[in-house]
Amino acid sequence: MNLSAIRFRLYPNKEQERLFNKTVGCCRFVYNQCLARKIKIYNETGKSPNSYDLIKQLSLIKKQSKFSFLNEVQATSLNNSVLDLDRSYQNFFKHGMGFPRFKAKGKCRESFRITNNGNDIYVKDSSIKVGKYGYVRARGSFDVYNTEIIQTYTRVCPYLAYTKQSMLYEHRRILCVPS
């Protein structure tokens, strides 16, 4: 499997931009809630829940009416926030990196990642279909074709006037073997 990445710029309409910003906020909310839960359970029992337990609890939390706003965004981006938290925990214990911190609006790298399950993300002409957000106009060099499988879509919101997007895709090469 040969993976490649491309970077590009999206031009979302106002509704899509609102949904992108809501996704960033929901991912930050889920990360902070799961971090607080991990700390609380560790202080009580001495053991920390793994990411899959937290993802199961997240699906139960999303069914509650006061957390219904979590259903408006792509579910894989919320699950990736939990997996990112778990990775930072593993880095803390295995590699001596810093303890995971709570994320604050405007003081962290505001980003989210959507994993392609089935046909959530694909390129069509000069636009990209991104999950629940629909078709978004894009500019960049697209060497991704329908024969290649897009793995993830990542959106990073730096403190600039524009945002950066990237896609990771599996590049299938046909090798010609001389006879």
**pLDDT tens-digit map of 91-149:** 887 877 778 888 877 766 777 888 877 777 777 777 888 888 888 888 776 655 544 56
Over residues 23-48, mean pLDDT: 90
pLDDT at 159 over 60: no
Name the burial class of residue 89, with classes exposed (0-12), middle (13-18) and buried (19+) by CB atoms within 10 angstroms of its CB: buried
Question: How much is the pLDDT for 37?
Answer: 92
Which two tokens mark 50? 């793994």
- Is residue 101 in some structural domain? no
Question: How much is the pLDDT for 132?
Answer: 85
pLDDT tier at 179 (50, 70, 90 boundaries)? very low
Strands 121-124 and 110-115: unpaired
Q: Do 35 and 70 belong together in one domain?
A: yes
- Is residue 159 in some structural domain? yes
Over residues 71-87, mean pLDDT: 90
pTM: 0.82
- Is residue 37 in some structural domain? yes
Hey, CA dihedral for 34, 23, 125, 9, is it positive or negative?
negative
Q: Do 36 and 81 belong together in one domain?
A: yes
Name the burial class of residue 61, with classes exposed (0-12), middle (13-18) and buried (19+) by CB atoms within 10 angstroms of its CB: middle
Q: Do 125 and 148 belong together in one domain?
A: yes
Q: Do 90 and 32 belong together in one domain?
A: yes
Question: How much is the pLDDT for 154?
Answer: 73
Which structural domain, as residue segments, surrounds residue 34?
Answer: 20-95
Q: What domain count does the chain have?
A: 2
* Closest to 31 in 3D by CA, of 81, 93, 97, 92: 81
What does pLDDT average to over the chain? 79
